[in-house]
Amino acid sequence: MTETHATPRRALAEPALAAPAIAHARFAIGDVVRHRHFAFRGVIFDVDPVFANTDEWYEAIPLDMRPRKDQPFYHLLAENAESSYVAYVSQQNLEHDESDEPVDHPALGGLFDGYADGRYALRREHRH
């Protein structure tokens, strides 16, 4: 009987699928930001690492302005000249607000304490 040593054969595997690029959040909870194209600003109170809203919401955005889904999306306590509201905005459409003015939104006091250096501090009971 002849002894044979099997050398491991490299399996003919399918090419590995490339993992999607991970977009890192440029903004944090409490940051004051403004929209790049529309006249509103707000305070970030939550972050989704990728799009996490409804298809109806996404498809309502005009195609030429529709952001990619594979980026962080931010929940804002937002304000414009007429009102305050909650907004959901892609990272590509936000920039830091350099006005150093506080945001006037009725829900701020329930989530944040104090404003300094362009950002709000999350209330202790909301921290993890």
Number of Cβ atoms within 10 Å of the Cβ of 21: 8
pLDDT band at 18 (very low <50, low <70, confident <90, very high): low
Inside any domain, residue 16:
no
Rg of the chain taking only CA atoms, in angstroms? 23
106: in domain: yes
- Any domain includes 107: yes
Is 70 within a domain?
Answer: yes
User: Which H/E stretch holds residue 85?
Assistant: strand 84-90
- 59-112 confidence digits (pLDDT tens): 999 999 999 999 999 999 999 999 999 999 999 999 999 999 999 999 999 999
The pTM of this model reads: 0.81
Q: CA nearest 110: which of 43, 22, 17?
A: 43
In a domain, residue 4? The reply is no
Which is nearest to 29 in space by CA: 47, 17, 16? 47
Whether the pLDDT of residue 5 is over 50: the answer is: no
Any domain includes 50: yes
Q: Is residue 41 part of a domain?
A: yes
Q: Is residue 22 situated within a structural domain? A: no
Which CATH number fits the domain that encloses residue 88?
2.30.30
- In 64-118, at which residue ranges do the beta strands (DSSP E only) sit? 73-79, 84-90, 94-96, 112-116
Q: How many domains does the chain have?
A: 1
pLDDT on residue 117: 87
Nearest Cα residue to 29 out of 45, 41, 42: 45
Q: Which domain holds residue 66?
A: 32-126
Q: Kindly state the tokens that stand for 128.
A: 């993890």
